[in-house]
Structures are given as structure tokens and as C-alpha cells.
Chain A
């Protein structure tokens, strides 16, 4: 609410969530706002969820801006190292 946009994306994969159980995820929500837990005023927040299974079917991370930027680079580097189609 207090800062910037919420970006939503459809995703296909799995996450390990509540109770340590794996579950299928269909939706990603990304936003920069106040965290619920991290000790920072603002964080980059990512929710990976399956809304069809209810609000609790969610894997949430809250990362400082610097951490999130480095994570993006790490993801891009990992993807670049693997040829398309693999």
C-alpha cells in the first residue's frame, strides 16, 4: 500500500511451504513494501502461491533491495549457463 507496484505473474513449478510440504505453485506476486518479518523498513517481497489451495498455500520471501538485486543476477547467470531447451 505504502510504496510501489505489485507485479503479478503466472508461474509453473513447486515450492516447499507450510509444514515443510512441497506444493504446486501457479502464481507469483512481487512487490516492494514493508516486510512482515525482515528487519528492514522496506523489502522486495515475493509470494509464490497456489490461490486455489487457500491463503496458506504460499511461500514468502522478503529481501533487502541489495539482496534482491543480487538474486536477480544470480538467477540470470544460472539460466544463461544452461542452453534453452534443457
Chain B
């Protein structure tokens, strides 16, 4: 398989008719393949996230990342956009679902699509990946250390975020969860609760929690980066998507 790819900026149309910027990376060639929607972390639609989008193209998927802050801060520096969105209370859940839905529809409309689309997110995006998979027709979901899937946000928490416990019965895609044992958001107790609830609900899931890793262990540009956990995590993501994004007609 070739690792040649191309990447560019495109624009989606949100459910509210807003223009939503998105970063698209595609493998070269006309063969059919699955798609991956990447949800950026709270710090924004940044270089590190776009590197991940290109990595999914290198792994053989059409991959896209919508800029969740397009409405608040179109064209702004990612950190300025993130600060603006934070000051306004964060991204509403319903809008997130709509934007991920628009991104998934874009991927499925590509001539190269095999019909399968997965979603992945890190940090706040991990929670949002689970949220999207509770409301959209997706084939696989990956939650990398998403906080507040279970557990309670602190009292007075200004971001408009709740846990997803009451939505988990609607989860309609297999879930891969990757966590650090030294993380506090989510803590090992939060991960255990999620594992138990999904087992009780008979939802297919696969969790891995890494020793000597905390929050954001995939982030190569931060001191939280843990090479062993990140390398193993990437292998598990590749294997998980290989299994679940092989095509709806395969």
C-alpha cells in the first residue's frame, strides 16, 4: 500500500447552515476505503491534530477534522479560537453531533468511500466521540482519555458539559477506549464505571489503560507524551479501524 496522500482545507455546511472549516487528508488512489472523523481536543484545530488526520490517511483512510470553533472564531489562530470558545462555555453537544454528522456524510459521499466511517477524539474530543456514536450512524468509535463520559463535572463548572451515562444505552458503534492510569480526568474509577456500564448494556467495547501514563499521552508536543503508551495505542487504533471500517458490503 502506498503512503502517498494529499491534504487540504474544505468547508462543510452545518445543520444550522453555518460554514464549518475542515481539514481533509486522503490517500492517493481510487480504491475504496473507510473514513475517519477526527474530533480535535479543547485546545483547538491545531497542528498536532492535523498531523493525526494525515496519519489516518497514511493508514489508508479518508480522514477529516471539522473545526468546531468555526462559528466563534473563523480563521483565528487555534489557541485564540479555543480561548474564545472556552469563554463562551464550550461547544454545545447538539452542535457537535451535527458537525460530526456533516463530516461523516462528506466522507461517505466521496467516490472512494466503502460506506464505513469511524470517529476518534482525544481529551474533550474523547467524550465527544462517544457522544457522536450515541446519536449518529457510525461504525466504530475511539475514546482517548475523554473526561466526563462518566463521573460528575465539578459544581459550578462553566463549560456546558454533562456526563453521558443516560445516553450510553443508545451507543451504536463498538468503542475502543485508551486511558492512562495516572489520569484524573478520567480517573481509573471513571474508566471502570464506564467499562461496567457498557458491559451491563451489552455494548461491544475494548479498553486499555496504560501504566506510567496520564492525560494526553498521545500528545507528542507536550510533556505528557508517553512513547510506549502512544505507540501501543496507535497500533490498537489501527487494528480496531482495520476490523470495523472494512466496508459495509464486505
A interface list, Cβ under 8 A from B: 1-8, 27, 29, 31, 33-34, 36-37, 39-41, 47, 49, 51, 54-56, 58, 60
**B76 contact set on A, CB distance < 8 A:** 54-56
B90 contacts A51, C-beta separation under 8 Å: no
Residue of B nearest to A33 (CB): B42
CA A23 – CA B147 in complex, angstroms? 36
Contact call A36/B43, Cβ cutoff below 8 A = yes
Residues of chain A within 8 A (CB-CB) of B54 are none
Q: How far is the CB of A68 from chain B (nearest CB, A)?
A: 17
B31 CB within 8 Å of chain A: no
Report the nearest A residue to B127, measured CB to CB. A1
Count, chain B residues at interface, CB 8 A: 35
Q: Is the CB of A6 within 8 A of B159?
A: yes
Q: In the docked arrangement, what's the CA distance between A68 and B63, Å? A: 40
What are 27 inter-chain pairs, A to B, with CB distance below 8 A?
A1-B42, A1-B90, A1-B124, A2-B42, A2-B147, A2-B215, A3-B184, A4-B154, A5-B154, A5-B156, A5-B157, A7-B158, A8-B87, A29-B83, A29-B86, A34-B216, A36-B78, A36-B82, A39-B223, A41-B214, A41-B222, A41-B223, A47-B83, A55-B72, A55-B84, A56-B77, A56-B80
